[in-house]
Amino acid sequence: MPEHHLIFGHFIVLKECIQALPRNTTMHVVVRHMARRFSNGVFCLNLWPFNMAVFIISDPVLASQVEAAFLDKPEAICTTMEVISGGPSLMTMYGNTWKKWRGLFNAGFAAGYVIGLAPAIADEVAVFCNLLQDRTKAGTMFQLEEYTLRFTFDVIGRVTLDARLHYQTQGSALADCLRRQVYWTPFGTTFNPFRRYLSPRPVVQKYNSYRMNQYLDEEIDKRGSIIEGGFQKMAKPQLRMFLYAGHDTKSSTLLYCFILLHRHQKFSPKSELNTTKFSALNPLSSIHKEVLRIFPPAATLREGRSDLVLVDDKDRQYPTRGCNIWVLDLAMHHCEDVFLKASRRALEWGPRSCIGQSLAQLELKVALVMKARMFDIAPAGGNMTVDGNRVYQAEMGGGGAHPVDGFPVRVTSRV
């Protein structure tokens, strides 16, 4: 356990770690630096009065026990997620309620159905490439993240709402309100009491929520009488959750794919560049798998239980009652003894794995092959680095990690 202060708990140690990194570095990077001090792969942080004590776990033996226990998310996390979604969603539901809704949506995200969405994805990728082509003519530096966020939002909009939002080329009230909601919703990472409690955040969040629900009501009403009023009320949080989860992390993953391709320019997937078959794009999975290893875009906490006692490989016991548990994927992903090359996988396994993983992987493959055919994307230089990365992962609200400064780049054309 880090050095504990009688009054301030672990906040002094946490402050030292935060100050050793750029101010906007995401919290899981900060905690990873702290975890390097503890070779046994587990330590505890006392965050009272802002949060419960947190077990930080970077040991695979303990992590597997946490995953096998099917722990719930802490109430604070669920409450925060429901600010974004507007109510209970697949992210916060449990038990039979979760099974019911997961069953309803499984067919819409099945691999066979998602393949049929490839033409729609290609349409949005074509718009994205046209916009990048315009930037190559200008020859100036710009923030690429704004383009990828709009692109991924257009894709998830077509899948979720069966409508073209045209967010890449014009404004969208739905997209703007959701993105503002994400920005104004921190996951308890702000310890400054003035920023935490004396903020217009609740008013902004209520307004954004009202505007999003208004838009979704109009979209649902277009479907006529096939949707009952009660179902409509319950469906809106699910739709908002899909729109949020379906654009935010995919955008960050795509940007870090561009970074790795720039760093390893000798990598040239020639067979994939010239193919017209989506089945031939499978080797491109190695790119985004590696990105998800090096730059995981999100993480979550789990709530300990009185009946769960973790036991490490030396038979040391760690009771979890009254604590939250954070399995620090980032630390394990960067440990060669833990994350073996042959075991790389893109997304989670198990019953609560990402429902949209087939869609996400197809979207990334199509975008990457079009980028590799048409553009060279070079990140801008700079002084601030974290672990040697100029484009380190930064806090941008909503719990996700984004490339810092919106990923400033220069783009040149290959054609």
First CA to last CA distance, the chain: 56
Bond into 49 cis (ω within 30): yes
Sequence-ordered strand ranges (E) for 246-321: 301-303, 309-311, 317-319
Report the DSSP pairing between strands 393-395 and 317-319. unpaired
Kindly report the pTM of this predicted structure: 0.89
CA nearest neighbour of 78 among 319, 351, 324, 353: 324
Residues contacting 131, CB < 8 A, separation 6+:
147, 168, 169
Local structure of 199: helix, strand or coil: coil
Overall size of the chain counted in residues: 415
Q: How far is CA 53 from the centre of its chain?
A: 24
CA distances from 49 to 9, 20, 53, 320 (A): 10, 24, 9, 18
- 153 contacts 243 by C-beta, under 8 angstroms: yes
Helix (H), strand (E), coil (C) string for 81-131: HHHHHCCCCCCCCCHHHHHHHHHHHHHHHCHHHHHCCHHHHHHHHHHHHHH
CATH superfamily of 75-296+356-413: Cytochrome P450 (1.10.630.10)
Alpha-carbon distance of 278 to 408, in angstroms, equals: 30
- 398 contacts 248 by C-beta, under 8 angstroms: yes
- 67 contacts 327 by C-beta, under 8 angstroms: yes
- 91 contacts 81 by C-beta, under 8 angstroms: yes
Number of other CB atoms surrounding residue 80 within 10 Å: 18
Alpha-carbon distance of 6 to 104, in angstroms, equals: 51
Sheet order of strands, 301-303 included: 42-45, 53-57, 323-327, 301-303
pLDDT in tens, the chain (415 residues): 677 766 677 778 888 888 888 888 898 899 998 888 887 888 888 877 777 889 999 998 999 899 888 888 999 889 989 999 999 999 999 889 999 999 989 888 888 888 899 999 999 999 999 999 999 998 899 999 999 999 999 999 999 998 999 999 998 999 999 999 998 887 655 555 556 565 788 899 999 999 999 999 988 888 765 566 677 888 899 999 999 988 998 999 999 999 988 888 776 555 455 555 555 566 677 788 889 889 988 888 899 999 999 999 889 999 999 999 999 988 888 887 777 665 556 566 777 788 888 899 889 988 988 888 888 899 887 777 888 888 899 987 666 789 999 999 999 988 7
Domain ranges for the chain: 1-69+297-345, 75-296+356-413
